[in-house]
Chain A
């Protein structure tokens, strides 16, 4: 099995805080891969380092066989990214944003416009294509971000919380596009803290907590004997059986 992404000994500290504490990971190509973990587990930091947006303190990352930091020409042409918490060029309209991104990527103008039209159609953004992105809703922003990430037909797509704050209709649209994309042999790596979502979408998962990988492998393997991924995850991070009931006895109706 070839790896789409290969991570070795990846570390990142912010001051005293260790965000990512030595990750080794081989992500198989052609899979729908979920990176799951609670908030603050280091998912965003990891994805930022893997995509070359954040410099790691230590460690190496290879994407489809090319080192992210030594060989950016090969890597950047092959990956698409939808980061979380970073802006887009929001004073462009949806269509202008795609035209801009595609041309920066060096695609011919006519090809960019053709692909943009199709992506805007499929993602239900055609009606809003002449609106400024700054006026888009969260779901629309994620969709235009996804369109921008797909425009150059990357081999590996990295999505940081692509469904966060997205309405069910947009989520279904995004899902449809991603499923079609992976069916053709491409790889999607996405992060989420919603286990149900990961369970229903992914065939391969990596569980992260406190800056480390707790488990990884095909979904069924990671889930093991547990009833659901959620259950398996809680056992992995050791959050099961923590009963807060007695501490919050004042909470709820009745006596103030």
Chain B
């Protein structure tokens, strides 16, 4: 019976993957591209690890790598709990499945995919990098399997433990924190890397000494121990990983049972939240311009506050936009030009405007009958964004300048920021019309399955285009900085940058509007997948 369930679930995952790809050629290409990229990265890593063989610090690197990998698996479901909806146990609630076969089946299905394959490559590389002697390779095979299972079980256990929280509306609002975690995490990694750069790999040895006892790194640590002849230590390390796997599966199984036998958390919060909302109305509306512009701005701003997805995206952008320049300035490694980060991060919010509407975009589509309507719609959205972004970018720039004490540079950095913001708004408006994609409201993904490629093209293509569009202003900045009496004229960059930003935004909106008006049904189809 249980073998049946396992087979069925694995096949389910494969067919869902296949069906997701079947829907469009673009999606297939995007998936293939990302797969190739991941595999290429995995292969490079494998190669790197093999080259590391014999290096004095190979064991340290390997143990740390596996630990980081495991951490990644643990954190992943917090940010993308819907990342694997085929494994969403709440969809199986109605089926008469016992926890034990279900856990086995879900675990097996979890092993299908690019992520596990990547992990497998990395683990294999790690073993090759440290194993010496036949016995070590035998232990290596066990270690790889064990470590992979621990990683996958860890992710599933964390996901199951969090799913109740994450399916409730309140819980979703908490996800706002995830942006902060990523931002702060990136800074910690950045800081760590700089320390490492200054004092070498040896500094990591004490950390590795601890981690080689922590599963799943201990499973790979065992390979190294066996290579050095410490069989007892190796067995102990393997046993630790096995025990961890057992505990994780037990925890997962318990959460799974509870999850599938208790009511959905999403329905419990509805009433209380509704009561809270009543207060947050109007007031603002009176300050906004009349007509479509004000109407669109008001709705956009309300969504920044009320829609958890939009709110999370905004908080992430606001946090990263503040943290990166400020932290770098505090560490003394900062450049005043990092202040442009705030404008860049917030400009991202202009991207995929219609995807943020979800399929409710039809309400907008029904009221756009000409490029003029589309222009006013897009302009309203850009204005709503500017209402928050302009003061914020200015504030971040001033704070960064204050920390670095480089006041003469303030005007030119502000000018650059505004030019960048304008370019982001312009490219954002255009990609919104040209490359719209769905943002699923249920679950935790920010991109509908199969549209990941589209989202990356939209965001990264747009960002590169925005950077290129800023080139003239950047060129002037550089020229003023290298030329002899340029300093005296650098204040000019503030009016020039602002004017440039405003002009390019206007041009972008002008270009995007006819495209939007002509592609309404196509945009609606693209944003209705979630």
Q: A residues engaging B (CB < 8 A)?
A: 51-55, 72-73, 75-77, 81, 83, 85-93, 96, 99-101, 103-106, 109, 130-132, 134-135, 148
Contacts and interface: CB of A to CB of B under 8 A. Distances in A.
Interface string B291-313: 11011101100110011000000
23 contacts: A52-B365, A52-B520, A53-B365, A53-B366, A76-B369, A81-B366, A87-B360, A88-B360, A91-B303, A91-B307, A92-B306, A93-B277, A93-B281, A103-B291, A103-B294, A104-B363, A130-B278, A131-B274, A132-B273, A132-B274, A135-B270, A135-B274, A148-B363
Contact of B299 (A73, A81, A89): A89
A77 B366 contact: no
A159 B277 CA distance: 30
Interface string B353-381: 00001111011111111100000000000
Nearest to A77: B369
Contacts of A96: 281, 302
Contacts, number: 96
B286 to A, nearest CB: 11
B167 interface: no
B362 A53 contact: yes
Interface string B475-502: 0000000000000000000000000000
Given A72-B369, A89-B363, A54 B302 contact: no
B67 interface: no
A19 B129 CA distance: 57
A178 B362 CA distance: 22
Interface residues of B, number: 39
B96 to A, nearest CB: 15
Contacts of B368: 76
Nearest to B23: A15
Please give me the 3 A-B residue pairs with the lowest Cβ-Cβ distance, nearest first. Answer: A103-B295, A72-B369, A91-B306
Contact of B357 (A53, A72, A89): A89
A104 B521 CA distance: 18
B274 A92 contact: no
B524 interface: yes
Contacts of A104: 292, 295-296, 363-364, 367
Given A54-B524, A92-B299, 16 more contacts: A51-B366, A52-B520, A53-B366, A75-B369, A81-B362, A90-B360, A100-B299, A103-B292, A104-B295, A104-B364, A130-B277, A131-B274, A131-B277, A131-B278, A132-B277, A135-B274
A3 to B, nearest CB: 21
A135 B306 CA distance: 13
A96 B364 CA distance: 15
A49 to B, nearest CB: 9
A153 to B, nearest CB: 15
Interface in B38-91: none
A91 B302 contact: yes
A91 B363 CA distance: 14
Query: Which of B277, B298, B368, B370 has the most CB atoms of chain A within a 10 A radius of its CB?
Result: B277
A83 B362 CA distance: 9
Contacts of B277: 93, 130-132
A130 B275 CA distance: 9
Contacts of A73: 369-370
A94 to B, nearest CB: 11
Contact of A100 (B295, B359, B525): B295
Contacts of B303: 89, 91
Contact of A54 (B298, B299, B357, B521): B521
B295 A86 contact: no
A109 B270 CA distance: 30
A101 B363 contact: yes
B328 interface: no
Interface in B305-331: 306-307
B228 interface: no
A204 to B, nearest CB: 25
A52 B519 CA distance: 11
Contacts of B363: 88-89, 101, 104, 148
A113 to B, nearest CB: 11
A236 B364 CA distance: 39
B528 interface: yes
Interface in B333-357: 357
Given A92-B302, A132-B277, A86 B360 contact: yes
Contact of B367 (A99, A105, A131): A105
Contacts of B364: 104
B3 interface: no
Contacts of B441: 87
A106 B524 CA distance: 22
